[in-house]
Structure 1
Amino acid sequence: MFRSLLMALVAIGLASAAVAAQPRYQIEVAGLACPFCAYGIEKKLRAIEGVERVETNIKEGTVVVVLKEGATLDRARVERAVREAGFTLKGFRPVSPGGH
């Protein structure tokens, strides 16, 4: 039983490490003011290949994009998606996992 518990804990630890390795980017957006705005920008960003999750903070005007492991994201693609959603990209930077 102890061995099974130990194996489960190791598996959880490895899964956590894999999630932590996922690339993340913080995007600053001019004009992000309401949930409808957030929906529009999230929809465009999720359509980018390799994007796993999008987290929007309307109050701060920021969006965190989490990529699938091994995926990449460049400023030009993000800028195009933000522009197509009707907004202006103010900032684009990688962030450490867990940090916003």
Structure 2
Amino acid sequence: MKTPYPWLAGLILLWSATAAAGGMRYELRVDGLSCPFCTYGIEKKLVNTRGVTGVEIDLDRGVVVVKTREGVTLTEAQLKKLVDDAGFTLRGVKVSLETQQQ
């Protein structure tokens, strides 16, 4: 059976992918995270940043995950300043689109 409107199937797929999208997800590799008390300072800096909806910290891996509202983006320079101001060193940033499934 031939699809009468093949472009419609593509449009529906694109719409569903966009509908599932949320804000951004930033995975920061941070040097100096060694204890729960250390994490409080960086978490406080990040949570008080406009548009940030959540912060998760993995001490074992030295990773801080920052999630933002839809439409809010943070630059690497902004993230570096926030991490530096908290007394840590930013070693890398991995950016992805936050989806409702995550």
User: What are the equivalent positions in structure 2 for 1:63-78 lying under 5 Å apart?
Assistant: 63-78=64-79
Q: Distance in 2 between matches of 1:50 and 1:32?
A: 24
Q: What one-letter code is carried by the residue in structure 1 that aligns with 2:33?
A: L
Q: Deviations 1:15-69 (Å, cap 9, x if unpaired)? A: xx55x42210100100111101111111111122110100000110000000011
SS state of the match for residue 43, structure 1? helix
Q: Distance in 1 between matches of 2:62 and 2:75?
A: 20
Q: Distance in 2 between matches of 1:36 and 1:77?
A: 23
Asked whether the 8 Å contact 2:23–2:68 carries over to 1, the reply is: yes
User: What are the equivalent positions in structure 2 for 1:31-50 lying under 5 Å apart?
Assistant: 31-50=32-51
**Which deviates more, 87-96 or 61-70?**
87-96
Q: How many residues align?
A: 82
TM-score, normalised on structure 2?
A: 0.73
Q: What one-letter code is carried by the residue in structure 1 that aligns with 2:44?
A: K
Identity of aligned residues (%): 48
Q: Which residue of 2 aligns with 1:52?
A: 53
Q: What one-letter code is carried by the residue in structure 1 that aligns with 2:87?
A: G
Shift of 1:96: 4.7
Moved over 4 A (4+): none
Extract unaligned runs of 5+ from structure 2: 1-15
**Which deviates more, 50-59 or 87-96?**
87-96
Shift of 1:95: 2.9
Greater helix content: 1
| Higher Cα Rg, which structure | 2
SS state of the match for residue 81, structure 1? helix
Q: What one-letter code is carried by the residue in structure 2 that aligns with 1:57?
A: D
TM-score, normalised on structure 1?
A: 0.74
